[in-house]
Structure 1
């Protein structure tokens, strides 16, 4: 990026509309009500997207109202989903999302897993009939606030070729882990199985920027710096064949075991926005209160982080951090300074909110 472009981007960020949590939650809730969701369901969706923006994950925050909204208006997502939860075993929950908005299904599955873990010590929820449910870190953070350690995953539209293959047959399935800290910030790891999310490549295309040649290949499998060629090609998995294996395991848990679609059975939300995706998610929660006292966990989490922070940085101005630190710092800063949103996103939110029932 040129100096002029950098200055323009900085100025745009400074000029972006800012909201406090209450204002943005209400605007987001009203916007999804305007798209046909009942208020309680709209509030669930807004909560996940709000946290994504507060963590600095703008590609997975309220900007998603564009793709979610298009599919809701086309009937590809059910605005009035009747989500069902079954309990075939004390610690197990099966969630049928009825093709609802992904964050709504995700919140139902999170609460179902919490319900099981509260009485059994461990709770597992498998969700099917869902759609893109946002980033994993908001769910991990919400679980951590209640004292639950978490392992959470979802499958996704096919964008990655099998290792050694020549066409897309598996999705960039995200996987996340969370560990609560009674005296500080939780440990939160949220990662997709590709080097970067596809949304980052779309953003580069919109901005007229090139991308690193380690992000994706073109349709012929050749590394590319052209975001358009990358979007027509395949994402590269993290760690080569190891990332490929992890992506398959996430799809086995979230897609196959949940009785959702998997691999090439998943519909593309961009190519067929009017069709149900039938994505699957899994939530594995552990009640850390069953393992020891809050003081015990806080002391061990403090020591765990201190061991890592104590490593002298290889680059003087880049100290060692642990997963979740960047997101928690951004959350604190935005709580103090206001949550910044792109002006175009704010316009879409307000347009849909104007359609909400009085």
Structure 2
């Protein structure tokens, strides 16, 4: 596997995104996000996404300035993203939420109609570094979670990330999903031609599936287990 210095990789990603014609600041935000995912040990949310992101940017890119505020109060703002880039949108929303919290103790921002927001764990620590508790919820994700006692893909992973400042050391951070594994990690196993561990995916007979390609090809016959697995799944 090739090894690339992170600053070189970040510059390459930035150039790819900037070449699609999006604002330079947005290109830098997205490039930073995907490369930082690798540095935090999450290749599942890294540069393998660049080509798909770039195609989406080139086809139809909605700038943050084109989004619409649907509701605004001292503690809450709801924004219709109209298809805006998810990573950029969440970064902008963090600043709004922090400003509201500084003025009103609490600050909430709801975003809808945006693209993939990638790794949730990137966002709350940025709030915690400003001395506040930060939380990000995603109501969505791919439809691949099999409810406890089933093998059918009926639910979405609904990831959650939380961060809080500590007196000594970096902020505490929790980044989790309602599945035993993120979907991107299954894709990584397939890219690397590695078997999945037993306990990630089952088939219609309840038997473990370790072939990532089979999971990707057989949406009707396989499902990802819920958090807690076969024994303690919820």
Contact between 1:219 and 1:230, CA under 8 Å: does it hold in 2? no
Question: Which string of whole-angstrom CA distances, capped at 9 and with x for unpartnered residues, describes residues 308-345 of structure 1?
Answer: xxxxxxxxxxxxxxxxxxxxxxxxxxxxxxxxxxxxxx
**Aligned twin of 2:134:** 150
Q: Bigger relative contact order, structure 1 or 2, given CA contacts below 8 A and separation 6+?
A: 1
**Aligned twin of 1:59:** 44
Which whole-Å CA distance do the structure 2 matches of 1:101 and 1:113 have between them? 18
Residue 118 in structure 1 maps to residue 124 in structure 2:
no
Residue 83 in structure 1 maps to residue 70 in structure 2:
no
Which whole-Å CA distance do the structure 2 matches of 1:110 and 1:243 have between them? 32
From 57, 81, 86, the equivalent of 1:97 is 81
Which whole-Å CA distance do the structure 1 matches of 2:61 and 2:112 have between them? 14
Which whole-Å CA distance do the structure 1 matches of 2:131 and 2:69 have between them? 23
Unpaired stretches in structure 2, ≥5 consecutive residues: none
Which whole-Å CA distance do the structure 2 matches of 1:164 and 1:134 have between them? 29
Which whole-Å CA distance do the structure 1 matches of 2:25 and 2:233 have between them? 37
Contact between 1:141 and 1:188, CA under 8 Å: does it hold in 2? yes
Residue 235 in structure 1 maps to residue 224 in structure 2:
yes
What SS does the aligned partner of 1:158 have? coil
**Aligned twin of 1:16:** 3
Unpaired stretches in structure 1, ≥5 consecutive residues: 1-11, 245-358
1:182 deviation in Å? 4.8
1:26 deviation in Å? 4.2
**Aligned twin of 1:185:** 170
Which whole-Å CA distance do the structure 2 matches of 1:175 and 1:162 have between them? 18
Residue 205 in structure 1 maps to residue 190 in structure 2:
yes
**Aligned twin of 1:195:** 180
Which whole-Å CA distance do the structure 2 matches of 1:219 and 1:65 have between them? 34
May I ask how many residue pairs the two structures share in their alignment?
227
How well do the aligned residues superpose, as a CA RMSD in angstroms?
Answer: 2.4
5 Å-filtered alignment, 1:1-358, equals 12=1, 15-20=2-7, 24-73=9-58, 75=59, 78-80=61-63, 82-154=66-138, 155-218=140-203, 221-231=206-216, 232=218, 233-240=222-229, 244=234
Cα gap change, 1:173 to 1:194, in 2 (>3 Å): same
Contact between 1:102 and 1:130, CA under 8 Å: does it hold in 2? yes
Question: Which string of whole-angstrom CA distances, capped at 9 and with x for unpartnered residues, describes residues 232-260 of structure 1?
Answer: 2211111259764xxxxxxxxxxxxxxxx
What SS does the aligned partner of 2:51 have? helix
TM-score using structure 1 length = 0.57
Larger Rg belongs to: 1
What SS does the aligned partner of 1:208 have? coil
Which whole-Å CA distance do the structure 2 matches of 1:219 and 1:37 have between them? 44
1:222 deviation in Å? 3.4
1:119 deviation in Å? 0.8
Question: Which string of whole-angstrom CA distances, capped at 9 and with x for unpartnered residues, describes residues 213-239 of structure 1?
Answer: 200123565321221223322111112
